[in-house]
Amino acid sequence: MKKRLSASLLHLMISFFIGAGAAALVFFVWYPGQFRDFSGGTDLFLLIVSVDIVSGPVLTFAVFNLKKPQKELFYDLTFVAIFQFCTLFYGLHIVFEARPVAMVFEVDRFRVISANEVLKAELPLAPDAYKKLPLTGPWLLGASMPTVGADQLDAIQSALEKGFDIAQRPKFWRPYESFTEEALARSKPVNRLLEKNPRWRSQILEALASKGFVNAESVSFLPLVARGEWLAFLDQNGRPFLFIEFDGAM
């Protein structure tokens, strides 16, 4: 029993270090910063990795027995290692497919788009810089609204029949720099938010101050469509610099 427990604990330690490496990949590359909250990356990763880290050592504890023939024990432990590797690989694949690839300004809001939400058939029609989905964190983009009759009809049909909105379609993606004036025009002043939601006042002002914005009059905001209800705060140049989860009325 003591040998079995020691083997299981050693396996647990090795699994922990592998899990730490996987966490670095997920949280610093695929889901950087607050995108782990926007896309539910933390909960998804912890669920998958915790099951994987526990299952391996438990199986090792179950099969480890020095009384077995050496060849049989080797095969048993090899099976456990392969099983754990496959489950971890599959779990990371799920996390990878759900990773955020773009934050898109769409009409009057921002929207976080995951890889599995993109209409991938249109990637060849995207601008050159966006033909391949990013591997090292999401892009900040704008969605160009169709103005030609055929494009408008196509956009409506795609949304109604296939469930793909403009922000999910690469053919409409453009650099966000082209949309900063429109984003500012669509945004609302923070003072209005503070007046309507006084209970959030201190939290919002503290968050703004932490980013160097002591004067809230130079800041505006737009809704952010992600997991939960969020607000994206824009500086005077129209770039989002702060995101706060928010359940109040705007």
Could you report the per-residue pLDDT of 18-62, keeping only the tens digit for each? 888 999 999 999 999 999 888 888 888 888 878 777 788 888 878
Residue pLDDT, tens place only, 145-193: 877 665 666 666 666 566 688 899 999 999 999 999 999 999 999 999 9
Structure tokens of 70? Answer: 């050496």
Strand 109-114 with 100-106, pairing: antiparallel
Distances (CA, A) of 191 to 187, 195, 229: 12, 6, 19
**Nearest CA to 129 among 139, 115, 137?**
139
